[in-house]
Amino acid sequence: MSLIYSFLFCGLVCLLSEVIINNTKLSPGHVTSLFSVIGAILSFLGIYSIIIKKAKMGAIILISNFGNSLYLAAIEGYKNNKILGILSNMLNKSSIVLSSTIIFSFIFVCLFKPRD
Write out the chain's pLDDT in tens, 116 residues: 888 999 999 999 999 999 999 999 999 999 999 999 999 999 999 999 999 999 988 888 888 888 998 899 999 999 988 888 888 888 787 788 788 889 998 998 899 877 76
CA distances from 94 to 1, 10, 75, 89, 115 (A): 30, 22, 14, 8, 30
pTM of the model: 0.80
CA 46, CA 48: separation in Å to the nearest integer?
Answer: 6
Q: Where are the domains of the chain?
A: 2-111
